[in-house]
Amino acid sequence: MRYERPRASAVLVAAAVGATALLSGAAPAAHAAPKPKVTNPGLEQVSGGLPTCWTGHTTGKSTGTFASVKGGNRSAKAATVAVSAYTGGFRALLQAPKCAVKVDPGKKYDLQLAYKSTSGKTALTVFRQKKNGAWVKWHTFPYLPSSKGFRLSVGRTPPVPAGTKAIRFGQGLYGTGTLTTDNYKIAVAKGTAKCAGSECTKGHWIVEGFGDKGVKSVHTVLLHNGKVLMIAGSGNNINEFRDPKTKLYDPKTNKFTNIPTPYDMFCAGHVQLPDGRVLVMGGTEEYSDYNVVPDTGWLGSKQSYLFNPKTNRYEKANDMADGHWYPSATLLANGDVYSVGGYADERQDDADQGNLVSLVADRYSWSKKRWLKEGEVAQPRIDWATYPALHLTPKSAELFYSGSYVFGPPRHTDGRLRGPGFLDPDTGAWGALPDFGGLRLPEARDQSAAVLLPPAQDQRYMVIGGKDFSNGEPAIRLTDVIDLKAAKPRYKAGPDLPHGVIHYGDGTDAPARKQTGAQGKTYVSAVLLPDGKLLETGGSQQTRSDHVHGTSILDPVPSVSKMRWKPVAADPVSRSYHASAVLLPDGRVLAVGSNPWDNSFDTRISIFHPPYLYKGGDAPKVTSYAKGLTTGAQTTIRTNAPITRASLIRPMAVTHSSDPNQRSVRVPVRSLGGGKYRLTIDKRKNVVPPGWYMLFVQTKSGKPSEARWVHIR
């Protein structure tokens, strides 16, 4: 085809038409200029109280103002958005329609502005003009933190949809507070997407406050519909013993649903069954009377219920053989649930004093849909104390006791500390690892976190922190890792937890004194991330006090000696006793709860945006996949971008720093071309126990997708 240069007259006519259209407010031309430009980017020209070519935009219900102000980002002027009352939507300063930025369909654009804000709920927000001239909200970037001084807000748009004429963008304020912006820029995207501020390497937290309408979450479970079940029971408050609480939280709407709760599930055990229902076992039968010397002790409940996400209701299960207060809850390869430990439903020697730890092992049969009778279960008759961390292993479906526990360690009949080892739930046989398996300070692992490092196939377990509550010593920084594939498994010293910032005080109502250089953490939470790493957060140095504000991420490389914790942004809220943290399907991490020494309860929810959300390029998206699969199956998925890895992560069900069922399973990926990939599910049911999983895929840069829910049978 012969290229022909346009005649000069044609060019002049086109330019004149374009200029007339811009002055008259008509829609911009379909084909944008090669170098898009923001008009009045520094907000210096002002007309009618607002920068020229700019306008205030409001959605939802809020009360607020827009204004041009003095004192810009290294300039004379800027503009503010203030919201005094808020119930929904957002407010933002945007380009006026006649000054919208012309763009080319199919291209991506890098946006940038400077902002400062008193709110932690502000986000770069983009509108686009459709072919018919209508404006629609197009893309919202993650929330950015509050800032007293100007900092950058940047983002790379997705490809501009076909038919788009122009875009308008600005920083949206999605709550009460004041937002000041200045220095807007736009450019055609080239190379790696831009990132600005500490969120690039450290991420950031957004804290949701609910006041009296918040939730006490002693038990936190992510359901396969993306909502979070938050169980308080009586929430460590005897006045609520007869009115126990459960709430369902929706992270997308930030709203709660109250769930009728049949009995006090405070300090129960819980686990997700193969069909996605949540089995809750045990809990509080009777409160201890601390006014009696010695106090009467707690009684564990025999009751058990199943929460059904389809109906948002609890369904009655039969009672267990014994009461359990602080019991274990481990899913087995066949879908059964094994539970041991916790205080029984009777007191020591039938006297009105002391706690009697249950020596009864209870087992819920998935095939029979009931708790088995005591005589139907092999009884090891072991004093497991409370919340022993028992993990399912690939080794003949044995359970591995990692050495992590709550309220004092498991013991032998002669009082000696019981260390890590293996339990066969089918026979009751127990085999201890020699010399505590090399676990350092085993007597100081109370309310440590124990986790199966990713991928699950590697069978490496890490115990993080903990404390010996029998003395006044602070919590420890130690982490230890054991490889169960080794001929003689033994713990190796892992990397110490980083020093954090200690807040002395409850961290909720009273200002807390601060000191750097934390000695360690108990009540620490551990969360597996979709990029194959591990996050730890929260915890305290002493008993429900001296809260440590520190969050860090570990890359579990093959060599334990080369593992390192990388500090990231710390949760602004103190999280200690009765706190939880769970991974959400969109890759964020939710932290909730905290019950400090004064017995108050923090009802705020913190949500962490990890650094991988800001990695270069768009997040991949799984556009086609099979929702139901079996172990050993091969399946084909489609994605909108090239991927290099995939994983199945079991949704968390955590309490008291413990979720022994948490696991991330590696899924081998084979490219078939054309955006198609073949995935192969591990064939071992004791590596992939039946149930719902989050399927994450990841780009070469390490940016994960939002999860797709997959049911493994």
The percentage of the chain sitting over the pLDDT mark of 70, rounded to a whole number, equals 92
Q: Tell whether 124 and 163 lie within a shared domain.
A: yes
Helix, strand, coil content of the chain in percent (nearest 5): 10, 40, 50
Check residue 220 and give its pLDDT. 98
Query: pLDDT-derived band of residue 693, with 50, 70 and 90 as boundaries?
Result: very high
Residue 28 has pLDDT above 50, yes or no: no
> Looking at this protein, which amino acid is placed at residue 694?
M
| Beta-bridge mates of residue 423 | 399, 430
In the numeric block, which tokens belong to residue 94?
């945007």
Residue 12 has pLDDT above 60, yes or no: no
Q: Tell whether 547 and 694 lie within a shared domain.
A: no
At 80, give phi and psi (nearest 5°).
-120, 150
pLDDT top residue among 418 and 31:
418
CA distance 332 to 686: 7
The neighbour count for residue 25, using CB atoms within 10 Å, is 10
| Beta-bridge mates of residue 583 | 589
Q: Tell whether 551 and 577 lie within a shared domain.
A: yes
629 is a domain residue: yes
In angstroms, the Cα distances linking 351 to 89, 326, 356, 384, 597 are: 60, 21, 10, 22, 29
CATH of the domain at 45: 2.60.120.260
pLDDT top residue among 60 and 618:
60
Per mean pLDDT, which range of 197-211, 397-411, 507-521 is the poorest? 507-521
Q: Tell whether 161 and 238 lie within a shared domain.
A: no
Q: Range of 67's domain?
A: 8-196
112 is a domain residue: yes
Q: Tell whether 136 and 278 lie within a shared domain.
A: no
Q: Tell whether 631 and 581 lie within a shared domain.
A: no
pLDDT (mean) for 261-265:
97
Closest by Cα among 288, 356, 283, 272 to 319: 283
Query: pLDDT-derived band of residue 348, with 50, 70 and 90 as boundaries?
Result: confident
CA distance 686 to 712: 12
Check residue 354 and give its pLDDT. 65
In angstroms, the Cα distances linking 136 to 90, 140, 423 are: 14, 12, 59
pLDDT top residue among 197 and 216:
216
CATH of the domain at 659: 2.60.40.10
Check residue 352 and give its pLDDT. 55
Q: What is the pLDDT of residues 139-159, one digit of tens each?
A: 988 888 888 999 999 988 889
Q: Tell whether 581 and 654 lie within a shared domain.
A: no
300 is a domain residue: yes
Q: What is the pLDDT of residues 429-474, one digit of tens each?
A: 999 999 999 999 999 999 999 999 999 999 999 999 999 999 989 9
Residue 281 has pLDDT above 60, yes or no: yes
Q: Tell whether 609 and 636 lie within a shared domain.
A: no
| Residues 365/334, Cβ–Cβ less than 8 Å | no
Check residue 643 and give its pLDDT. 96
434 is a domain residue: yes
Strands of 402-544, DSSP E = 421-423, 430-432, 449-452, 460-464, 479-483, 492-493, 501-504, 513-516, 525-528, 534-537, 540-542
Q: What is the pLDDT of residues 209-252, one digit of tens each?
A: 887 778 899 999 999 999 999 999 999 999 899 899 999 999 98
The neighbour count for residue 670, using CB atoms within 10 Å, is 11
Last residue of one domain, picked from the residues 614, 649, 669: 614
pLDDT (mean) for 624-631:
96
CA distance 248 to 231: 9
Helices (H), ranges, 188-289: 199-202
How many helices and strands (H and E) does the chain possess?
Answer: 2, 59
Q: Tell whether 448 and 565 lie within a shared domain.
A: yes
Check residue 14 and give its pLDDT. 36
Last residue of one domain, picked from the residues 169, 196, 223: 196
Residue 650 has pLDDT above 50, yes or no: yes
CA distance 398 to 384: 16
Mean predicted lDDT score pLDDT of the chain: 90
Query: pLDDT-derived band of residue 394, with 50, 70 and 90 as boundaries?
Result: confident
Q: Tell whether 420 and 322 lie within a shared domain.
A: yes
Q: Tell whether 506 and 465 lie within a shared domain.
A: yes
Check residue 434 and give its pLDDT. 96
2 is a domain residue: no
Check residue 556 and give its pLDDT. 98
Check residue 663 and give its pLDDT. 98
pLDDT (mean) for 34-52:
94
Last residue of one domain, picked from the residues 588, 614, 640: 614
Count of domains observed in the chain: 3
Q: How far is CA 75 from the centre of its chain?
A: 40
Check residue 635 and give its pLDDT. 97
Q: How far is CA 432 from the centre of its chain?
A: 34
CA distance 594 to 539: 9
184 is a domain residue: yes
CA distance 503 to 516: 9
1 is a domain residue: no
The neighbour count for residue 373, using CB atoms within 10 Å, is 12
Check residue 513 and give its pLDDT. 53
CATH of the domain at 477: 2.130.10.80
